[in-house]
């Protein structure tokens, strides 16, 4: 299947009416288990957080900005599709390095499959950053 069609199909499937999230959309990243849970358990995905020598900050934030495609100015112009920035340069974003998911591998961002990042990005856009909370725990 063509990549754009796959992403469009994923977005259509993942799109949930805002009324379902009247209070808030919460994404919980558990660094110990390398998982991200969206909603009560609307989605649960493997992620990669910071590898040794780097840190994924712990805390609770609202998304600061969204970018459909971002290129890291700090790490050799690395692509960061479907970025949801939540703390400085830290973001939840897609990665092509799917074999690394489920274990620490990043410079600090929260990486997930591109299709999952697209689904999360779409949810944040639909619900709104002001009604979304990103929580990173140990």
CATH number of 70's domain: 2.40.440.10
Q: What is the pTM of this model?
A: 0.83
In sequence order, what are the beta bridge partners of 134? Answer: 27, 61
Lowest mean pLDDT, pick from 17-31, 41-55, 93-107: 17-31
- Residue with structure tokens 């994404």? 27
Rounded to whole angstroms, the Cα distance separating 50 from 52 reads 7
Identify the band that residue 10 occupies on the pLDDT scale cut at 50, 70 and 90: very low
Contact at 8 Å (CB) between 16 and 126?
yes
Identify the band that residue 23 occupies on the pLDDT scale cut at 50, 70 and 90: low
What is residue 7's three-state secondary structure? Answer: helix
Q: What angle do CA 126, 118, 123 make, to 5 degrees?
A: 20
pLDDT greater than 70 at residue 8: no
pLDDT greater than 70 at residue 39: yes
Evaluate the CA torsion angle 78, 32, 137, 20 in order and state its sign: positive
The domain of 128 spans 3-137
Mean pLDDT of the chain: 88
Q: What is the pLDDT of residues 43-100, one digit of tens each?
A: 999 999 999 999 999 999 999 999 999 999 888 889 999 999 999 999 999 999 999 9
Contact at 8 Å (CB) between 26 and 39?
yes
Task: Name the CA dihedral angle for 133, 82, 117, 35, rounded to a multiple of 10 degrees.
Answer: -60
Total domains present in the chain: 1
């Amino acid at each position: 299947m063509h990549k754009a069609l796959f992403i469009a199909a994923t977005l259509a499937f993942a799109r949930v009416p805002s009324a379902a999230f009247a209070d808030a959309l919460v994404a919980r990243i558990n660094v110990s288990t390398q998982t991200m849970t969206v909603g009560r358990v609307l989605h649960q995905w493997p992620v990669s957080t910071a590898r040794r020598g780097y840190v994924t900050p712990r805390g609770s934030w609202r998304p600061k900005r969204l970018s459909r495609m971002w290129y890291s100015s700090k790490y050799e112009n690395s692509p960061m599709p479907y970025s949801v920035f939540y703390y400085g340069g830290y973001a939840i974003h897609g990665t092509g390095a799917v074999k690394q998911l489920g274990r620490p591998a990043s410079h600090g961002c929260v990486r997930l499959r591109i299709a999952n990042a697209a689904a999360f990005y779409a949810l944040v856009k639909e619900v709104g950053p002001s009604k979304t909370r990103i929580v990173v725990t140990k």
